[in-house]
Amino acid sequence: MRSVPAGADGYMNLILAHDLGTTGNKAVLVDERGQIIDTAFAGYRTAHPAPLAAEQNPADWWRTVVRCCRVLLEKDPNRRRQLVAVGFSGHMNGVVLVDEQGRPLRPALIHADIRAQQPCERLRQRMGEERYYAITGNRLAPFYSLPKLMMLQEREPEVVSQARWMLQCKDYCAGRLTGRWGFTDPSDASLTGIYDVKRLCWSEEVIEATGIPSRLLPEVFPSATVIGGVTAQAARATGLPEGLPVVLGAGDGACATVGAGVVEPGGCYTYVGATAWTSCLRERFTPDKQMRLTTLMSAQAGRWVQFGTVQSAGSAWDWFTRLFGGRASAKRLQQEAAQVRAGSEGLLYLPYLSGERAPIWNPQAKGVFFGLQAHHTRGHLARAVLEGVACALASILDVMREHGEVAETVRVVGGGTRNAEWMRILADMYGCPIEIPHHAETSTALGAAVIAGVAVGAYESFGIAKRIAAPTRRMEPREENAALYRHQRTQFGELYETVRWMYR
């Protein structure tokens, strides 16, 4: 490790981590105690060139890496010599096709691109959903990399024939820093839909069934791997020191797990952002017979993350505030929701604005308000939206409890933690305490920093994440509300079963 001893001026070793999210790059500088020293953000856009399409330009990711590096380093010239590593987190399920020199051959398909419905159906007929899930721990769904790649083979065969590797966004940016290409980590590999999460290798059976070129699949290294040093060219562009260790890092789901302080089996957390998910760390691959849950390889070797995703969470709240808020602020709408009794006086909301993943896995599902009466106000609708998302997340937690030990207290991270009433609803809906850790809104970037720190020896082990993510807020469930919500959750499930035939 490049070590810079702390002097009288208080300088300490620093780690720089980039979190390449759906809308932009959030970069953090973290010291050897795990404290965030500074942050920077630079955005990029998503193009929608066709219905259901979602593409990004890899050059935009690199541009934000350069921008955030320069913003953070130019604030204090001493920071450059304090750096001991740079690491990455990134959005997952993508397809970044590059040539031998790492040059992108077309825009990247990101997780939100769901055009590949037909390849999913063909693979379902060839392998069967159950066999595919037993290998990959994933459902056959267009969110994943594999059906996207199959689609490109059909529509753009000349591009696929020129490609050398299929990467994820963090792999591409790490390659730009080091000049090395053709690598990924187990977490990103596991959410391509091609990785055998039990045997820990690319699945020959899946490759044979799909006909995808195996040459495109990168070598898989542990997340906490130094994959090279910053090249002279990248150093000139970013301001980073030449030779600075570049750590591979992990996909955003794996990084958020670390950043939430969930590093021991049975630990559980919920992420509430535009989408939301509930995750539990496991010691072994524990497939769900009904295929309701998804498996993600952890950033820690020998660990699996079992999780389920709610497709519209923060995005459902944003939709509501945009449509019903008028001139009222989001804070005002939260206050109105807080003034309504638990249960929204019989008003139910199914948050399926963009289909749904876990646990129902229905891309045709639609949003529903049910039970509207003349006395209901905007506050009732606002609370029903918050309760509907919480209901969906609680249904995922119920499935996890069927599969093994789940911690009695659930951590909650993400931008949704700013909504205090939502957090109280979540505790009541879960029927257990929730804890909101320090730096809850930067947990993914913080997890990437911890991974980088472990790789270069700045941190002894992943255990430091528990101390870094110490809770600053704790909410206990209110028994009277928890009892009411147990009944509401039953109604929530019955409502979906009643209306789902209409989605077709």
Q: How far is CA 456 from the centre of its chain?
A: 24
Asked if residue 274 has pLDDT above 90, the reply is no
pLDDT at site 485: 98
Residue 2 binned pLDDT confidence (cut-offs 50, 70, 90): very low
Cβ neighbours, 10 Å, residue 141: 19
Asked if residue 6 has pLDDT above 60, the reply is no
486: closest CA among 390, 366, 405, 378?
390
Asked if residue 32 has pLDDT above 70, the reply is yes
| Strands 348-350, 368-370: pairing kind | antiparallel
Asked if 420 and 272 touch (Cβ cutoff 8 Å), the reply is: no
Return d(Cα 83, Cα 341) in angstroms, integer: 51
Return d(Cα 56, Cα 46) in angstroms, integer: 5
Domains in the chain with CATH codes: 14-248 (3.30.420.40), 252-432+483-504 (3.30.420.40)
The first and second tokens of residue 283, run together, are 């010691």
305: Cα within 13 Å, side-chain hemisphere: 32
pLDDT at site 9: 38
Mean pLDDT on 411-440: 96
Cα angle 54, 59, 64 (rounded to 5 degrees) comes to 95
pLDDT at site 10: 53
The residue behind tokens 């919480």 is 390
Residue 11 binned pLDDT confidence (cut-offs 50, 70, 90): low
pLDDT at site 355: 87
The residue behind tokens 């020959």 is 204
**Percentage of the chain modeled with pLDDT above 90:** 92
Residue 12 binned pLDDT confidence (cut-offs 50, 70, 90): confident
β-sheet bridge partners, residue 228: 246
pLDDT at site 313: 95
Residue 363 binned pLDDT confidence (cut-offs 50, 70, 90): confident
Residue 25 burial by CB count (10 A; 0-12/13-18/19+): exposed, middle or buried?
A: buried
Q: What stretch of H or E contains 24?
A: strand 24-31
Buried b / exposed e along 304-332 (16+ C-beta atoms within 10 A)? bbbbbbbbbbbbbbebbbeeebeeeebeb
Asked if residue 7 has pLDDT above 50, the reply is no
Return d(Cα 358, Cα 395) in angstroms, integer: 9
Summary mean pLDDT of the chain: 95
Mean pLDDT is lowest, of 154-163, 234-243, 351-360, 493-502, for 351-360
Mean pLDDT on 336-365: 94
Mean pLDDT on 470-498: 97
Residues in Cβ contact with 456 at an 8 Å cutoff, skipping those fewer than 6 apart: 1, 2, 15, 84, 85, 226, 245, 247
Mean pLDDT on 136-150: 95
Mean pLDDT is lowest, of 1-15, 30-44, 186-200, for 1-15
The first and second tokens of residue 458, run together, are 């700045």
pLDDT at site 143: 87
Residues in Cβ contact with 25 at an 8 Å cutoff, skipping those fewer than 6 apart: 18, 19, 41, 42, 43, 44, 61, 64, 65, 67, 68
**Percentage of the chain modeled with pLDDT above 70:** 98
Return d(Cα 194, Cα 256) in angstroms, integer: 22
Buried b / exposed e along 341-355 (16+ C-beta atoms within 10 A)? ebbbeebbbbbbbbb
DSSP of 137-176, one letter per residue? SS---TTSHHHHHHHHHHH-HHHHHH--EEE-HHHHHHHH
